[in-house]
Homo-oligomer: A and B are copies of this chain.
Amino acid sequence: MNQPAPLDAVMRTLADPTRRAVFERVVGATEITVGELTRGSGVTQGAISQHLKSLKQAGLVAERPEGRNVYYRAESKGLAPLVDWMSHYGVFWRERFDQLHALLKEMDP
């Protein structure tokens, strides 16, 4: 009766503006460290770490530790639950999403 639960995590995680901004910066960069993300974020390094933890648990980002730095990158399929949900409840976009999905299935082996 419910969606996979992943959707819940994705929605809840992206609902917070600060955390969404972090995600957007991660997406914008190929790879980015916690320190860089902290700069100009307006919040503490600890807060950024916590947000990254949430994003990771939601499957939206992945990490690559290197020395004393940790590089974060966007998880390519992280938004899939959201895409799936929109394909079901997108109203107005639904038929078009369905067409898109069919199209993507062909394009993606």
Contact = CB atoms under 8 A, between A and B. Distances in A.
Q: How large is the interface on A (under 10, 10 to 19, 20 to 34, 35 or more residues)?
A: 20 to 34
A91 B107 contact: no
Copies of this protein, total? 2
B78 A91 contact: yes
Contacts of A20: 11
A58 to B, nearest CB: 12
Interface stretch (A31-39, A46-54, A64-72, A82-90): A82-90
Interface of A: 8, 11-12, 14-15, 17, 20, 23-24, 27, 74-79, 82-83, 86, 89-93, 96, 100, 103-104, 107
Given A12-B15, A17-B8, A91-B27, A79 B86 contact: yes
A93 B83 contact: yes
